[in-house]
Amino acid sequence: MQRGFVSDNCAGAHPDILRAISQCNAGHAPSYGEDACTKNAKAAFSRLFGRDVPVSFVFNGTGANVLSLACALRPFESVICADCAHINADETGAPERVLGSKLQAVPSGDGKITAADIAPLLSAKGSPHHSQPRVVSLTNVTEWGAVYTPAEVRALCDFAHANGLLVHMDGARIANAAVACGVDIADLTLHAGLDVLSFGGVKNGLLFGEAVVFFNEPLADAAPYMRKNVTQLQSKMRYIGAQYEALLANDLWRKNAAHANEMAGRLEAALRTVDGIEIVHGAAANMLFVSMPDAMQRAVHDAGYGIAMGDIVRMVAAWDTQQEDIDGLMAVLADM
């Protein structure tokens, strides 16, 4: 299958990741995270953040979000998020079904929310007739490709904490966001006041497996039980741990994200030269959204170079995107 821009989920695993899986496959190892690979991966996360941080490995991104929220919520409490947030729009109601907690979605043009969006919902606090706001969930990079800066995350965390709320971040593309901001991941999360992070790896070169990182350490107390309760405990956890050990070694996470972001920028620059194409949301990180005539949209979609979202086409660059992939798309457009 050719490389396209439908999703960074379509990319294969990075060779270093596959090598790590192969190496950890030799012989037997303790199960449920007691193996050396998982312990080494947890130590790598502590080095990444500059302090010991509890980490729980899970199968996938929805599981990471559900586990993060499960450790922070009671059923009568609610989560405030953008209307386009993955937990609200793309997880088939998993958080609400599994947790029994309400999601309160606020309108957002680019997927980012502000303290002003959250404030009106706080009037429900103290009323026995309404779900009690407890968690603010941010997505970085957002579903519309926008990036929260460290200052924006800090402002939201300060506001939330001042009002008795916790802050979760869906960081499926946290590496791309950090690279886009020119900062370390810790600057965008821990140092900005975040309580819990869904740390994405699959979109950045892993084969499978995500991580939940707790900065508010008391929230991690329930994680060993909640992870099993929400069906996210991997028995042969060494295969997730080995991947994260490799991803966090020698800044592979940064290299992969930087390449994807650069390719998205090149893609945007190329598309800006095509008559009839309008950039709706530019490549702040590794995603961009464009509008184009229907015939052009069909050709792009049929050739596997983007995915239609109504009148807009989403294009995503991955860790393995190459200039020839951009050239292939441009060849399709040249034939229109």
List the domain range (segments joined by +) for residue 92. Answer: 15-251
Q: Is the pLDDT of residue 1 over 80?
A: no
pLDDT band at 2 (very low <50, low <70, confident <90, very high): confident
Is residue 239 located within the same domain as residue 262?
no
Show which of 188, 217, 251 is a domain's final residue: 251
Q: Is residue 236 located within the same domain as residue 288?
A: no
Q: What is the mean pLDDT of residues 166-182?
A: 98
> Are 110 and 203 within one domain?
yes
Assigned domain for 170 exists: yes
Residues 6+ apart with CB under 8 A from 70: 98, 99, 222, 226, 229, 230
Q: With 80 as the cut, is the pLDDT of residue 7 above it?
A: yes
The residue from 251, 282, 304 where one domain ends is 251
* Whole-prediction pTM: 0.97
CATH number of the domain encompassing residue 118: 3.40.640.10
pLDDT, position 105? 98
Tens-place pLDDT, residues 247-297: 999 999 999 999 999 999 999 999 999 999 999 999 999 999 999 999 999
One domain, residues 173 and 198: yes
What is the arithmetic mean of pLDDT over 97-102? 96
Q: Based on the fold, state whether residues 202 and 260 are members of the same structural domain.
A: no
Region 297-326 average pLDDT: 94
189 & 226 share domain: yes
The pLDDT > 70 percentage for the chain reads 100
Q: Is residue 220 part of a domain?
A: yes
Residue 3 within a domain: no
For residue 311, pLDDT over 90 is answered with no
pLDDT for 335: 85
**pLDDT at position 115, please?**
98
Please give the mean pLDDT across all residues of the chain.
97
- Is there a contact between 175 and 8 (Cβ–Cβ < 8 Å)? no
DSSP code, position 63:
H
Distance CA 122, CA 204 (A): 36
The DSSP string of 67-125 is: HHHHTT--TTEEEEEETT-HHHHSSTTHHHHHH--EEEEE--SSS---HHHHGGGGGGT
Give the tens place of pLDDT for each residue, 36-75.
999 999 999 999 999 999 999 999 999 999 999 999 999 9
Identify whether residues 138 and 280 lie together within a single domain: no
Amino acid at 170: D
Q: What is the mean pLDDT of residues 98-126?
A: 97
In a domain, 1, yes or no: no
Same domain? 124 vs 147: yes
d(Cα 200, Cα 206) in Å, to the nearest integer? 9
Residue 325 has pLDDT above 90, yes or no: yes
Beta carbons within 10 angstroms of residue 57's beta carbon = 28
Residues 112, 190, single domain; the answer is yes
- Residue 279 and residue 288 in contact, taking contact as beta carbons nearer than 8 Å: yes
Residues 232 and 293 in one domain: no
pLDDT at 176 exceeding the cut of 90: yes
Structural domain count of the chain: 2
| CATH number reported for the structural domain that contains residue 273 in this entry | 3.90.1150.10
Are residues 60 and 191 located together in one domain of the fold? yes
* Same domain for 297 and 151: no
pLDDT band per the 50, 70, 90 thresholds, residue 310? confident
Cα(206)–Cα(266) distance, integer angstroms:
24
